Structure 1
Amino acid sequence: MQSEVTAPLIAINRHRLTTDGEGITTLVAFHGCSLRCKYCLNPQCLQSDGVWQVLTPGELYAEVEIDDLYFMATGGGICFGGGEPLLQSSFIKAFADIMNPAWKLTIETALNVPLKDVERVAPLIHTWYVDVKDLNSDIYKAYTGKDNTSVIRNLTWLAENGYADKVIIRLPLIPEYNADSHRQVSEQTLKNMGFHHFDHFTYTLAHLTSDIKQL
């Protein structure tokens, strides 16, 4: 008998409003990420002692269904973040199979994962927040420690399969790594691919950490 899928979490954060998609949402943050960003927002997701709980989809549902009334009244649901939530695509699909189908699923991802993980959950996701960092391959690798070939491939697949309107692209200005001119080039490239929803912001170093370098 095949064992039930489980996933490591760093947090469950309830009653979030306007930060993770529509309505009231609960953020489910997974442990683990394939990137090593110099200014990591959640270094706990990479620390060996950073796991808060390991749950099955059923156990997660038991934790979050308490807010079903809020989700239904506001058009909200669950936001999967991390870490990199798409590394837990099998878990997300199993959770979607048992949750209230009226809940909206949002995902916050860097999209640097195998295509099969994107394909597995794409039909289930209402809104994608994709942090591309910068599409310049040299800047991306300097900042994350990994190339962005998978990111480009996955964005192309989403656009070609009719999901572009569900995707909000996050285009950060990253001190010491990129400039607004780089960001403008990234945005134009993404527009040419078929994406039209963008979130521009600047990383504020006072609110970030470079502890990732020590992990």
Structure 2
Amino acid sequence: MQDSKQKGIIFNIQKFSVHDGAGIRTIVFFKGCPLRCRWCSNPESQLFTPERAFNPTRCLTAAVCGRCSRACPTGAITVVDGMNCYNRALCTSCGACVNACPSGAQSFYGYETTVEEVIKKVEEDDVFYTRSGGGLTLSGGEALAQPEFALAMLREAKYHRLSTAIETCGCYPTEVLDEACHYLDQLIFDVKSLDDEKHKKFTGSSNKQILQNIQHVFEHFPSLPILIRTPVIPGFNDTEEEIMAIRRMIPLRPNIKYEALTYHRMGQPKYGYLGRPYLLEGAKADEAFMKELRAKLDAYQG
């Protein structure tokens, strides 16, 4: 199959990003991820299939509108005391409620598209990439969990002379990452913890493949610009010992940078839209600790 015709599932294309690679970038968010991080800020990215979501803050209410309940063919949406109530067990994801909703309260996260359609959208802002040194960033979810689609997109991007980057959790076969690195101008790689049991508890997966993959890149792609990131999560890895152990694992090279990210809850409302619990309810970042930690990381010389 031609790379341009390869199909996959994404849930968003975000323009004018300045925090996900060099310059001004367009981020393509892929559906599906092998991890289930308790703090995930994109819960809509985790499953590989489109998901129906409901945002009650945008709902016009049944008294004013009620189009979704009238459109639903399975009775998954009913009206109770003037409010729309949703029974996920009856939903077949037919999309009737989404098509009927005038406010966007009913929506789907995720849709099928082709590499050609994505690249066309990305190239709309080509002038900004030229001026800023930006380009295309693949994110998710985990882009390389849809390897055929992601690799085809990277190859097609290079054919169109677009700068490429990827934000990745690193949890997939090494040969997939190896091929991707041949088409990348920058790799943004998360290392969350070196403790395998703790990693399994908080992300649902071992870290062994992840650590094997980043070591492979260090060894086989020594000149590739790499940003290693660690989200500092309360109750998981929020100690100096844990973060500095990760820092010591990373080679001191001019092309490799390390960043500790402050925990945030910006994605928490989306759990409610999807009918899922947020597992870190009440957790808060320690700003004073993060300030001290970053000072030590800045001073680190190996």
Does 1:66 pair with 2:124? Answer: yes
Does 1:202 pair with 2:262? Answer: yes
**Which residue does 1:75 correspond to in 2?**
133
Does 1:176 pair with 2:177? Answer: no
Moved more, 28-37 or 48-57: 48-57
- What 5-or-longer segments of structure 2 have no aligned partner? 52-107, 280-302
Contact 1:164 1:194 in 2 (8 A): no
C-alpha displacement at 1:194, in angstroms?
10
Q: Which amino acid aligns with 1:77?
A: G
Moved more, 29-38 or 193-202: 193-202
Contact 1:115 1:154 in 2 (8 A): yes
Secondary structure of the residue aligned to 1:200 is strand
Does 1:149 pair with 2:208? Answer: yes
Q: What is the rounded CA distance, in whole Å, between the counterparts of 1:63 and 1:2 in structure 2? A: 18
Closer, same or farther: CA 136–30 of 1 in aligned 2, 3 Å: same
Contact 2:225 2:255 in 1 (8 A): no
Q: What is the rounded CA distance, in whole Å, between the counterparts of 1:165 and 1:5 in structure 2? A: 27
What CA deviation, in whole Å up to 9, does each residue of 1:76-135 have, x standing for no partner? Answer: 110100000111232233223333543211110110111121022111111111111112
Secondary structure of the residue aligned to 2:10 is strand
What CA deviation, in whole Å up to 9, does each residue of 1:142-193 have, x standing for no partner? Answer: 2101101110110111011024652111122210112221111121122389
Q: What is the rounded CA distance, in whole Å, between the counterparts of 2:25 and 2:252 in structure 1? A: 32
- What 5-or-longer segments of structure 1 have no aligned partner? none
Closer, same or farther: CA 128–97 of 1 in aligned 2, 3 Å: closer
Q: What is the rounded CA distance, in whole Å, between the counterparts of 1:134 and 1:195 in structure 2? A: 22
Secondary structure of the residue aligned to 1:207 is coil
Contact 2:28 2:137 in 1 (8 A): yes
**Which residue does 2:225 correspond to in 1?**
166
Fraction of identical pairs, as percent: 27
**Which residue does 2:27 correspond to in 1?**
27
Q: What is the rounded CA distance, in whole Å, between the counterparts of 2:151 and 2:224 in structure 1? A: 21
Contact 2:9 2:30 in 1 (8 A): yes
Contact 1:159 1:195 in 2 (8 A): no
Q: Which amino acid aligns with 1:183?
A: I
Q: What is the rounded CA distance, in whole Å, between the counterparts of 2:194 and 2:139 in structure 1? A: 21
Q: What is the rounded CA distance, in whole Å, between the counterparts of 1:40 and 1:60 in structure 2? A: 25
Pairing partner for 2:144 from 66, 82, 86:
86
Q: How high is the TM-score relative to the length of structure 1?
A: 0.87
**Which residue does 2:284 correspond to in 1?**
none
Secondary structure of the residue aligned to 2:236 is coil
C-alpha displacement at 1:72, in angstroms?
1.7
Moved more, 23-32 or 94-103: 94-103
**Which residue does 2:189 correspond to in 1?**
130
Q: How high is the TM-score relative to the length of structure 2?
A: 0.64
Aligned residues: 213
Q: Which amino acid aligns with 1:74?
A: S
